[in-house]
Structure 1
Amino acid sequence: MLSNTGGNTRRQTLGGLSASQLNTRTSNGGALRVENVKSRASLAGVPGHNGPKTPGRKTPGGTRRRSSIFGWSQQSKHDPRPLTDKQYLNDCVRALISYLTTHGYDNPVSPKTLTHPTCKDFVQIVTFLFKKVDASLKIVGKMEEEVPQIFKKLKYPFPISRSALYAVGSPHSWPSLLAALTWLVELLNYEEKAAEVREKSVDNFECDTSSRDFFEFVGKSYKSFLSGDDGECFVLEDELRATFQEKDKEIIAEVERHEQEIEGLKGSIAGLTAKPTPLEALQQKRRDLDSDINKFESLITKLKEHKEAVEQKTRDREEELHGREEERKGVEEENRDLEEVVSSQSINKEDVHRMAQQRSKLQDILQSLTSQKDSLLDAALEDEAKFEKKVEELEGTTRQYHVMADRLQLIPSTAKHAEGVNFQIKLNASLDDPSEVFNVDMKNKLKPALNALRESYAKKTRLVTEEMTEIQEKVDSAEEALSEKAEEIALLGSQNARLEEQTRQLKEQTDADIASKNAEIDQIRADVKTLKETAVKSLADSEAHAHALKVEYEELCVTTTLETEMVNKDLAAALEALIGHKLHIQQTLKRIDEQTKNYVEDVMN
């Protein structure tokens, strides 16, 4: 609103600030600051508020009237507090002691001390409280001069006399000083409560950092608007725009990261689907083991048959050898008899010749029998070598069986998959009974146990196959849900772009309207300035003409005020629309993020 004919301009607020608006403003450093009264005044004298003060509007006659925003007269006021009431003073003492003891005051304090305090006690207490207001505040001059000035800067509504500070503990001085200290404590308590309300409002309304930045921008820009600093408003808008652009980049990066995680999960699912499952690998191992078992059984059967044949041949050879040995003994006995007969008979030439022939014949027979014996021994040795080779092969096969059984946790009998059955085979080739070569009954015990184990694995295989089918169905459902979520994200992205475009157009329209109104205001100001210059140059004009110009000026002021209020209302509506749009985008992105996280957790589970 334009002021009187003095030519100074200022801006007037559209209405009073509510208590919630006071609490949600941004505090510099989280505590009150004491500054020059000219550079920072309390809003209409409200204690603890360090916002801009709106001066009262002056009438054309030059007299000042009360501002519409919590203003009151600047004349000296009578203190309405009951400073002579002993109960009230005791309450003030208790409040002061409570604050000092709960906020780290390290000097002794008691109700007796605060009944008639010394000047030193008062200085310590007031210095401690001033430090709570501003940590950098120091009393460098005389206490009697500095304390009243600091209370005045803090907008204490009642004066503090120097004479009272010279006699702090006197009955006529201490009640007013105690009330001032109590007011300062209430001011500090108010600031603490306001900070708590700000934090609770952030929690209750789920206001994140970007929202706080936006509300700080609104508070600072409104303050600059009231002080007429348009350049600062533009700087704040640029800073807010840069902040939101940075937040948008972070959101886009987070969305891209989630998309990459989804692609990674898809790749993992594809890899797990492509390669053989643990069930299929176990099934293949089981088929290999079944094949090995069948081979072992066939080999064992063949070795048994070969062993029986070799044993039969050995027995036949031993019987034949025994017969030849008996025959040799008979021939030797016959030779001894013949030698006795020959030795008892007289030998002639014919007998000698006959004996030589008979000897030659017997030698041929002996040589034939010796060669047959050697052949039988060679055959027995060859059969024994073949038997030992087969035994070695059987031992190698048994070792391979043990390796496979150990890998499958079938041995010993306490192994995981043995189920109390002894699958371990011990080979003893030195025994003559084929049924005792192995320590277990292959046909009646080992083979049925292996068959039962195979049936158990077949049952587990069927169950796992059914579970794999269900899992595959869930994976297919998850992929369909993922596709639907991707389509929903794309749709929300297009909606977000459309809303941003609408917001941009609305802001451009609002900026254009504001620029147009500012141009009109500048034109009106130029006209007023021209009229003033004309009025100064034409001093010879009548007072009636000057009065008419003054009336026209006041009408222009009213018109400008109305137009300014309309612009402020349009700006407030645009800000509300922008806030609603931003909250909608935040809620949408939060919902998408929660849905994405839930989907990822479902896929991982």
Structure 2
Amino acid sequence: MSQAAAGSSRMTMVSTTPRSTFGKLSGIPKPQSGTSETRSSFFGARTSGASMLRNSTMSGFGGTEKIKDTRPLHDKSFVQQCIRQLQEFLTEQGYPGTLSSKTLQSPSTKEFVKMFEFIYQQLDPTFEMPKSKVEEEIPALLKALRYPFVLSKSSMYSVGAPHTWPQALAALIWLIDSVKIYRNLSRQDLLSSDFCKDGGSMEEGAEYNKLFLDHTAETYSKFMQGQDTFEEEDEAFLTKLKTLYNVDEALLASMEEKHRMLSKEVEQLEEESQTDRLMSKRMEKDKLQADLKKLQSYRSSLETFQASLEKKASELEDELDTTVSHLETLKHERNEVQHLLQKQKFTPADLERITREKRELQQTISSLSKSLEDAEQHKWNEEMAFAKVKEKAELKLAEYHKLARKLKLIPPLAENACCHDFEIRPSECGPGSMVQQKTQVLTAHDQMLLRKLISDVEEENSQLTNAKLSLEESCEQVNFNITDKSNDVKRLREQMRKLDERLDSDMQESAREEQEWAAEMESVENHRKLLEKKVNYGYDEAVQQLKAAQQEYHLVLQETNEERRTVANNLVSVFSTAADHLSITEKSLEDLHRKVQQICSKSVEEDKAAVQKMQEAFKSFKSKASGL
């Protein structure tokens, strides 16, 4: 079963990438050396296939049973970790909405729908969430994606509730993991397609299939002879695969060590950092920006202070220059005066004469100063007397103006002025510093107008007096009406008192009815307690029946397990019979081996032509997909 088996099996074998298979095979740990019970072959123990088939068959009958969610959804640390994963994924993918830890603690239904739509679009870019019946659409989409747990329709109405948000968050995390798996598979498909474009890849696939089939045939023949472990054959197969694909063991070992160290570091970081590092960095960034703003404001204040100091310095420099120039001028004047003093020459007679004249002038100045003081004192007394007279006149004038304004005589446009100016204005005149106050006197025409106004006012006053008398009479009539109305109010108060007494009697009647209702409620409560006691008695009987049913269920379960063991023993005998039949069939296959070798060469050529056609079809399909 070497080349012929490889050629015939190539038509029926599922196309796989040999390098990925080799990676899986190299990742299997080597079996430990010891007794035959602890060692296992590459394909597992002899009864492993039967047991796996039996387990998968038995588990297929419970298709409608709900799977219990074993994730710690009510653990706060687990929920915070899921929130960080969701925030990191949305940030990396460029989520258009606003993201914050406070929002993700309890989002609204609208925000949850936006996040679900954004994540689902990573799987299907053409997807759009419908506007209505969102609470039915999201569970249906998760069910179509084979989400293993149930997300109820009612939970969509209050996604941010504490008892609902962990389940919805776990569904989003599962969807994010599905997106990542889909992208990895897409990337592997691209790598696989690039790998298959190489012309020599098919030859490597044929060689790999030949090695794999030879290894399978060898180990299966030894397995039928009673051998359980295949360590030497597995090592030889791995050696051949490493030779075929030029595997660098040192590079693999270094990469495994690096992966182990990175995994350990990631676990340590996940254990140590329970807080959101992104949020801490953002808070640190905000703090640094605030410090930067403070420094900028301090810098601007310093620049302002520097500008003010420079301005003061320039002003002081200007003042200093002015002072220096003034000092130079004074020095020059002093030199000139000293020069003049040096040039002048006085005799002692001149000095005595100047002294005598100076003394006479001082006496004259003192006498004139005394006479000037007397004159100023007289002037002051006269001015004080004039000020007192002026003050009295101004008071009279102000009183006149106040009364005239009250009577609407001034200004000339007032109501009673009749375009005449009744205002008295002061005028000042006098020689030198002396001020004389004169008062304008009213003319005879103005006095006649004032008398006419007085007569009009007296006439109007008499009219107002008559009106006042009529108003007093009407007031008396109103007082009489008030007395009459007060009597009516007393009568109404008496009626109100009677109504209050009637209300009190009605209240007493209602209180008596309430007592009767309370007694009736008490009897109803006693009847309810009696019914509750009977219901509890029925519940106890139901619990006893449940226990009896559980015992009966355990008995049926034991019988079912016994039947399962019987079926397993029967299957073992069937498989042993099948193994004997396979040995007989192998002998017959050896006779057909020569005929298969002849057909193998023809089938290889046909396979190459078929593979070439498949590559051309794949290229055309890929070009059509890229065009779409």
TM-score under structure 1 length normalisation: 0.25
Q: Tell me the TM-score normalized by structure 2.
A: 0.24
Q: Which of the two has higher C-alpha Rg?
A: 2
- Bigger proportion of residues as helix: 2
- Asked which structure has the greater RCO (Cα within 8 Å, sep 6+), the reply is 2
